[in-house]
């Protein structure tokens, strides 16, 4: 039997990240795996809380029971939404997996690639907002950067509204 895997999913609680999370749960995660939600917060000056302590290295791995608690997550400046919590709670129960969260502060492109190596992850799933060519040229595509720079397999789940 294969050893447990660490499957990462980039989560910012947007519709496209929830779609990527659902896709990962349905298609990648299997019994015994660790599902690790990776959240990136913007860099900035944080006066108090866990953010200041973990800004350079990222937070410790936060178990599902803790990141389901709004009081705990307030210390990190992160507010998981009910739909995301429902997806991971159901997956933890039904698939018998361990769900964890890791929070980084900084540029999403760089921090997602850093997470792959620091955690380390066996693979990462990331949503794609489907920015137009102009916006993508100006803002850059996080998913494109991760595909080209991560040291593990990357799956991009497109957020296609109209087909």
| Structural domains of the chain, count | 1
Answer yes or no: is 11 within a domain: no
CATH code, domain with 105: 3.40.50.620
Answer yes or no: is 44 within a domain: yes
pLDDT, residue 141, reads: 81
Longest dimension (CA), the chain: 47
Answer yes or no: is 7 within a domain: no
pLDDT, residue 137, reads: 56
* Residue 43 · residue 108 · CB < 8 Å: no
Q: What is the pTM of this model?
A: 0.87
Domain that holds residue 74: 16-158
Distance CA 2, CA 69 (A): 32
pLDDT in tens, 55-92: 778 899 999 999 999 988 888 888 899 999 999 999 99
Distance of CA 113 to the CA centre of its chain: 11
pLDDT in tens, 112-123: 999 999 999 999
């Amino acid at each position: 039997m294969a050893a447990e895997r660490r499957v990462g999913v980039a989560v910012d609680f947007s519709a496209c990240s929830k779609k990527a999370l659902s896709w990962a749960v349905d298609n990648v995660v299997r019994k015994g795996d660790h599902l690790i939600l990776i959240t990136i917060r913007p860099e900035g000056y944080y006066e108090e809380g866990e953010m200041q302590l973990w800004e350079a290295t990222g937070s410790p791995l936060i178990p599902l029971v803790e990141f389901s608690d709004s009081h705990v997550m307030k210390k990190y400046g992160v507010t998981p939404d009910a739909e995301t919590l429902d997806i991971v709670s159901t997956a933890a129960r039904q698939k018998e997996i361990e769900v964890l969260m890791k929070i980084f502060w900084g540029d999403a492109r760089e921090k997602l690639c850093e997470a792959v190596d620091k955690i380390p992850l066996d693979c990462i799933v990331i949503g794609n907002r489907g920015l137009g060519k102009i916006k993508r040229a100006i803002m850059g595509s996080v998913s494109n950067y991760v595909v080209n720079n991560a040291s593990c397999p990357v799956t991009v789940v497109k957020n296609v509204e109209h087909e």
